[in-house]
Amino acid sequence: QVQLVESGGGLVQSGGSLRLSCAASGFTVDSYTIGWFRQAPGKEREEVSVISHSGVDTMYAASVKGRFTISRDNAKNTVYLQMNSLNPEDTAVYYCAASTRGAGVNIPTFLYDVWGQGTQVTVSS
């Protein structure tokens, strides 16, 4: 069964750090582009960061560039999102997703077809 499971969310103070994990099963993380998305209450889902299946190409939203880092551990079949210098605007449910139908880092959201259940990140001021 193809599945993604996120973990690592929690409550952190402004300026703090968290590392989110996205563990894959049923496929290997180097097979597909994998992205991190977030959705805050009352807001649209936002693409945060993406890593290509090769691991060579990455993409960051302007709002997180320089603060967040996406990485991958093929041995653990896991993709990570290191989040530093967090601020209250980063509060959201964070999801990882895989695109089995797209390639590269500029994939329309509708082509991400495997989604995790999400993990809550709350940043207090």
* Residue 81, token pair as written in the block: 């999102």
CA distance 60 to 68: 8
For residue 7, the model assigns a pLDDT of 98
For residue 42, the model assigns a pLDDT of 94
> pLDDT by residue (tens digit) across 13-25?
999 999 999 999 9
For the chain, give the percent of residues with pLDDT over 90: 99
> pLDDT by residue (tens digit) across 25-56?
999 999 999 999 999 999 999 999 999 999 99
CA distance 17 to 90: 11
Q: What are phi and psi of 60, to 5 degrees?
A: -130, 140
CA distances (Å), 7 to each of 18, 62, 100, 103, 106, in order?
A: 10, 24, 22, 25, 25
CA distance 27 to 40: 29
> pLDDT by residue (tens digit) across 99-110?
999 999 999 999
Contact 105, 58 (CB under 8 A): yes
Average pLDDT score, the chain: 97
For residue 46, the model assigns a pLDDT of 97
